[in-house]
């Protein structure tokens, strides 16, 4: 039970209370507590035994401290359980649909569109839409109904998938548990997570050590099956345990002897297409490749098994990073010793997209700068939202100019420990205009232009909109270029090739937004951007200090696209980064 899970339970309780028509003050107290639980650096499980320590957290009063203690003790909240019994877990699924909030769920419940705690609420809604039962309901015009229909399609398409950070955090929790068992020395993720896929369907973990030898596995298997986060066990065998955790993610833990660990890691990392091509190469060389070993066809003797490096070397190939294993030319490149040296996290020297308390961030300019120093960065850019996004308290011209002074003041205070650039994430309006005056943009070091509204525009309209925006001479980076939110919102329609071509001509950099809920551009479009000569700037889009450390999720996408340090602007020094951006008028 970590802070994020505890925060989720509080937030879900607030949503259920709003559906149930509870007092708005009580609902807000749950939402505030959920945000506090997610943002605090205090380990809530450790602090649960001390009410006063919990109450020191801003947003946690005596009542909420008691609720956090209940969660720590039982893993749930009685009020949440009661409301789930009334409305069913399906209403929580409904809230994942675009445009669907608690008030809309309550409307549908009261109208009888959904109305049973024991059936598929998303399915009920889909049937009601097709039957025309939403027509005439308040706030249910044709556009909203169509948005819900598309949202259901998108949700069903992504059902059973989990973001890379969700899978990674679960892998870390399970690994920490397994490594407490005497005789398990190493636990490594395989599958989609190891290859850096932006979403995963299940989680493969490989464990090795003396306790994983065939003659000793029973005790280790029993220990795996006792993992506290298990929701239900799917299967339990001699050297494998499969189970679901509470969020529905399937986990497969395999216990392996050390002498076949490399073969198993290679096999279970995949991808399937890469493995098929690799096995074909092995067969042509007189070998057979399995999860146990690379062995000779004639007598079955082992050629290599303990490490991946030994296996690839025996096949006369260079070892390659797992992110590259998608059968996209890496087999031939490794055999011909021409694999590129893909970018490494240690090469990232700055982060150029982040938000502070001036808009919708949670930390000050100085706090973000100090946290960036802890990450090893040499420079950052402060890029709060602009005025069109009223919900984020976006900056108007007057506030933006005032913030420039504040940023430069912090930059001076840093005394060379880190450079702090001025910047803005300026909104691209529906017609392609920007929502701040050019005179203000001209004073900024880093101007990121991004779309945040009117995602329903046609491909032609959106392309024209974005192209007009990047023609503005002060725009230096196009932010999260497709607007997607993984498993929540599909990319908006856009002629990506046309945008990349024009951006390359103008010298406008394309952002790779490393926030794990975005990862935008994706690996395919990153490859296309490189082919077209576009400059790439990776950023965290952080809204608090802790997210500055999540750049690694974005880095995996750069590696999947075979990008090198030379392809990414923020591997350069502070001066080199600015010089790599579009020249200002």
pLDDT attached to residue 158? 64
- Which among 208, 231, 256 is the end of a domain? 256
**pTM of structure:** 0.80
CATH of the domain at 481: 3.20.20.140
Q: For residue 26, with 0-12 CB atoms within 10 Å meaning exposed, 13-18 middle and 19 or more buried, which class applies?
A: middle
pLDDT less than 70: residues of the chain:
1, 116-120, 157-158
Helix residue ranges per DSSP H, 59-199:
62-74, 78-87, 90-94, 102-110, 121-130, 142-158, 164-178, 191-194
In a domain, 63, yes or no: yes
Distance CA 46, CA 569 (A): 41
CATH of the domain at 74: 1.10.150.110
Q: How many residues does the chain have?
A: 585
In a domain, 100, yes or no: no
Q: For residue 136, with 0-12 CB atoms within 10 Å meaning exposed, 13-18 middle and 19 or more buried, which class applies?
A: exposed
Domain span holding position 209: 162-256
**DSSP string of 334-368, one letter each residue:** HHTT----B--GGG--EE--B--TTTT-SS-HHHH
How many separate domains does the chain show?
4
pLDDT attached to residue 119? 57
pLDDT attached to residue 95? 86
CATH of the domain at 287: 3.30.210.10
pLDDT attached to residue 94? 85
Do 252 and 330 have their domain in common?
no
pLDDT attached to residue 578? 97
**Contact of 27 with 18, CB cutoff 8 Å:** yes
- Joined together, the tokens standing for residue 318 give 């260079």
In a domain, 134, yes or no: no
- Which among 283, 313, 335 is the end of a domain? 335
**Contact of 161 with 193, CB cutoff 8 Å:** no
Distance CA 312, CA 334 (A): 9
In a domain, 76, yes or no: yes
């Amino acid at each position: 039970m970590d802070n994020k899970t505890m925060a989720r339970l509080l937030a879900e309780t607030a949503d259920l209370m709003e559906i149930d028509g509870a007092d708005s003050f009580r609902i807000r107290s749950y939402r505030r507590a959920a945000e506090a639980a997610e943002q605090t650096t205090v380990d809530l499980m450790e602090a649960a035994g001390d009410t006063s320590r919990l109450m020191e957290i801003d947003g946690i009063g005596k009542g909420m401290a008691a609720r956090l203690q209940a969660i720590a003790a039982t893993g749930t909240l009685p009020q949440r359980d009661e409301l789930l019994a009334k409305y069913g877990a399906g209403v929580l699924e409904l809230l994942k649909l675009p445009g669907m909030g608690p008030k809309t769920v309550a409307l549908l419940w009261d109208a009888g569109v959904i109305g049973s705690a024991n059936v598929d609420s998303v399915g009920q809604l889909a049937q009601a839409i097709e039957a025309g039962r939403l027509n005439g309901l308040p706030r249910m015009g044709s556009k909203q109904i169509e948005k819900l229909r598309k949202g259901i399609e998108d949700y069903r398409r992504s059902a059973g998938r989990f973001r890379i950070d969700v899978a990674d955090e679960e892998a870390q929790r399970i690994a920490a548990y397994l490594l407490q068992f005497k005789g398990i020395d190493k636990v490594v993720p395989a599958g989609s997570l190891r290859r850096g896929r932006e979403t995963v369907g299940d989680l493969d973990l490989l464990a090795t050590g003396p306790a994983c030898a065939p003659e000793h596995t029973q005790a280790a298997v029993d220990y795996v099956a006792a993992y506290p986060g298990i929701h239900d066990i799917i299967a339990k065998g001699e050297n494998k345990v499969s189970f679901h955790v509470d969020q529905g993610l399937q986990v497969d833990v395999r216990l392996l002897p050390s002498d076949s660990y490399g073969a198993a890691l290679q096999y279970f990392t995949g991808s399937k297409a890469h493995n098929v091509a690799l096995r074909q190469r092995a067969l042509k060389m007189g070998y057979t490749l399995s999860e146990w070993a690379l062995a000779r066809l004639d007598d079955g003797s082992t050629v290599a098994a303990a490490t991946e490096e030994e296996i690839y070397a025996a096949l006369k190939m260079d070892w390659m990073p797992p992110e590259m294993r998608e059968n996209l030319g890496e087999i031939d490149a490794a055999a011909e010793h021409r694999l590129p040296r893909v970018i490494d996290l240690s090469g990232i020297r700055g982060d150029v997209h982040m938000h502070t308390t001036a808009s919708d961030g949670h930390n000050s300019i100085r706090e973000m700068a100090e946290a960036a120093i802890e990450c090893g960065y040499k420079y950052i850019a402060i890029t709060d939202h602009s005025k069109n996004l009223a919900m984020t308290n976006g900056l108007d011209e007057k506030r933006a100019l005032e913030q420039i002074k504040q940023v430069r003041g912090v930059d001076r205070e840093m005394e060379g420990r880190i450079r702090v650039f001025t910047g803005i994430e300026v909104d691209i309006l529906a017609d392609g205009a920007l929502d701040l005056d050019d005179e203000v943009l001209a004073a900024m070091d880093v101007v990121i232009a991004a779309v945040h509204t009117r995602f329903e525009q046609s491909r032609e309209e959106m392309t024209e909109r974005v192209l007009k925006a990047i023609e503005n001479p002060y725009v230096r980076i196009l932010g999260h270029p497709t607007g997607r939110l993984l498993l929540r919102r599909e990319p908006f329609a856009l002629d990506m090739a046309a945008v990349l071509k024009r951006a390359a001509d103008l010298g406008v950099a394309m952002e790779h937004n490393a926030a794990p809920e975005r990862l935008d551009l994706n690996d395919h479009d990153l490859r296309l951007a490189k082919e077209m000569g576009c400059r790439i700037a990776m950023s965290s889009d952080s809204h608090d200090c802790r997210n500055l450390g999540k750049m690694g999720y974005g880095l995996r996408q750069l590696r999947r696209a075979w990008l090198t340090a030379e392809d990414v602007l923020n591997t350069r020094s502070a001066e080199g980064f600015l010089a790599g951006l579009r020249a200002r008028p």
